[in-house]
Chain A
Amino acid sequence: MSSTLDFARDTFKINPRYRLQWEDAQQCHVLLYPEGLVKLSGTAAEILGRCQQPTRAAELIAELQREYPAADTLADDVMEFLTHARQQEWIKRTED
């Protein structure tokens, strides 16, 4: 990779190769891509759902924290997931 997504600085969104949707037959959200699908946990879907439009890590965390004020490890959890999502290339820098 010539450019890695930097969570401190970059805006990002779902990689256009991937599509997020609810699947009745699986009773969960899935992420579809040319080779198959990934089943998502409810929280993963909630985070990715907010990446349909360009966003930043800090904005995303603030937004979720407003919705779940009691979740005290939220920031760490979200960063852990975003790191995983970046590594899987589910999300991409918007400039790319």
Chain B
Amino acid sequence: MTVKPPADKVSIPERAPVPLWLLAELTYACPLQCPYCSNPLELPKSRSSELTTEQWLDVMQQARKLGAVQLGFSGGEPLVRPDVELLVQEGSKMGFYCNLITSALGLTTERITALKNAGLNHLQISFQGSDQETNARFGGSDSFVHKLAMTKEVIRQGIPLGLNFVLHRHNIHQVADFLALADSLGAEFVELANTQYYAWAMHNREQLLPSRQQLQDAEAATNKFRDTSGSRMKVFFVAPDYYDDRPKKCSNGWGTTFITVTPDGDVLPCQSARIIPGLEFPNIRTQTLRDIWLDSTLFQRFRGTAWMQEPCASCPEKLIDLGGCRCQAFMLTGDAASTDPVCSLSPLHHVVTEITDAANAQASSQSSTPAQPLLFRNTSNARKLSAKKETSTS
């Protein structure tokens, strides 16, 4: 008998790809108003178009048949829906590894017990700041004490837990405090995730993007914690890609790994794909997941490398990053099939360096405040934005 260490990564299959993840965005409703939220700027006026419990169970079953093994419940705030426990229970029975991504609002001791009994495998709680004031300022609601209590309760009940701290210019200096807090709560996994600039975060980018110095300080604080705390807590630091010279793969490769289903049943290769113009977005109410995944124009559009333009098309690195993120390419260059301008080989890379230069300049001249105030994510701001859009396009 020989034992070989297994391959530690899933490779991109050559024939029909098998999706790994189903990301179920159960609702866009959320009691918080984070200004970096990745939900669309056009928030629906009511929840009446959300998929029903039966429709979700059907999507889950279909995804499982395609081979998906990871199931993430997110939102908005998924706990706004009273059927989360049931969905977790059924997902677990289907053989999914069930993850719940929550702000902790809506969690109670009883719901934690119910989720645990339903077979929840992993729970992630997000924090907006390392203290009550910052957390309330960026979440738009005073939830800090509740988050601490629920974090402790999840640990006490033994559901594997990760804490997520979303970083931006106004809280990135709190990294050391947040790590100390997480450690004192007994957390085992912490993700320090820099805001990625989509949706609300994109709209607020000028106010949110940290300077290079801030980023370096935060990384140094993270490394210092790792080296000196003697803590058994694992810390992941996710840098904002604007400061890199190579882009990140789009959702681990468009149409290779992820299926996102929106609250109203649209099926997407990534959470933000609906911003790309000229594409049709299939819906689970009218098509099967199998047809959408394998054959829809949407999932085929940027699968593989055939769609690429120069410099990506003849680049020796094209299988490493697949040309970067399509949504980011569209937002920053106006062409979703162009090279992600984060790449230093992109002829439009200067678009990104101008943005980071501005962030660096702003940080060094403390006095200059950004032109517009932070816009918090809520339905009233969403309405104002869409009204503005209509007047500017008509």
Q: Do A and B come from one complex?
A: yes
Residues of A bordering B, CB below 8 Å:
1-3, 16-17, 19, 21, 23-26, 30, 32-34, 36-41, 43-44, 47, 64, 68, 71, 73-74, 77-78, 80-81, 84, 88
* Size band of the interface chain B makes with A: 20 to 34
Closest to B72 in A: A34
Q: Determine how close the nearest CB of chain B comes to the CB of A24; give it in whole angstroms.
A: 8
Contact partner of A19 among B97, B162, B231, CB < 8 A? B97
Asked whether, in the complex, the Cβ of A32 is within 8 Å of the Cβ of B6, the reply is no
- Interface of chain B, main secondary structure: loop
Asked whether, in the complex, the Cβ of A80 is within 8 Å of the Cβ of B69, the reply is no
- Interface of chain A, main secondary structure: mixed
A37/B10 contact (C-beta < 8 A), A16-B158, A23-B67, A32-B69 known: yes
Residues of B within 8 A of A38 (CB): 6-8
Task: State whether the Cβ of B311 lies closer than 8 Å to any Cβ in chain A.
Answer: no
Residues of B within 8 A of A3 (CB): 232
Contact partner of B6 among A21, A36, A44, CB < 8 A? A44
Asked whether, in the complex, the Cβ of A64 is within 8 Å of the Cβ of B5, the reply is no
Task: State whether the Cβ of B230 lies closer than 8 Å to any Cβ in chain A.
Answer: yes
Asked whether, in the complex, the Cβ of B1 is within 8 Å of the Cβ of A64, the reply is yes
Task: State whether the Cβ of B3 lies closer than 8 Å to any Cβ in chain A.
Answer: yes
14 contacts between A and B (CB under 8 A): A2-B230, A16-B158, A21-B95, A25-B66, A33-B97, A34-B97, A34-B160, A36-B10, A38-B6, A40-B6, A41-B4, A43-B1, A43-B4, A44-B6
A39 vs B1: C-alpha distance when bound (angstroms): 18
Closest to B122 in A: A34
Asked whether, in the complex, the Cβ of B232 is within 8 Å of the Cβ of A71, the reply is no
Residues of B bordering A, CB below 8 Å:
1-8, 10, 18, 20, 66-67, 69-70, 95, 97, 99, 121-122, 124, 158, 160, 162, 189, 230-232
Asked whether, in the complex, the Cβ of A36 is within 8 Å of the Cβ of B2, the reply is no
Asked whether, in the complex, the Cβ of B160 is within 8 Å of the Cβ of A17, the reply is yes
Residues of A within 8 A of B10 (CB): 36-37, 39
Q: Determine how close the nearest CB of chain B comes to the CB of A81; give it in whole angstroms.
A: 4
A84 vs B3: C-alpha distance when bound (angstroms): 11
Residues of B within 8 A of A16 (CB): 158, 160
A38 vs B3: C-alpha distance when bound (angstroms): 15
Residues of A within 8 A of B66 (CB): 25
Residues of A within 8 A of B99 (CB): 34
Contact partner of B69 among A2, A17, A23, A64, CB < 8 A? A23
A47/B69 contact (C-beta < 8 A), A33-B97, A37-B20 known: no
Interface centre among A21, A26, A36, A38 (most CB of B within 10 A): A36
A44/B67 contact (C-beta < 8 A), A2-B230, A34-B162, A38-B8 known: no
Asked whether, in the complex, the Cβ of B122 is within 8 Å of the Cβ of A41, the reply is no
Closest to B230 in A: A2
Residues of A within 8 A of B232 (CB): 1-3
Closest to A32 in B: B97
Residues of B within 8 A of A78 (CB): 3
- In addition to A21-B69, A34-B121, A37-B10, 10 A-B residue pairs with Cβ atoms within 8 Å of each other are A2-B231, A17-B122, A26-B67, A32-B121, A33-B97, A43-B4, A44-B5, A68-B1, A77-B2, A81-B5
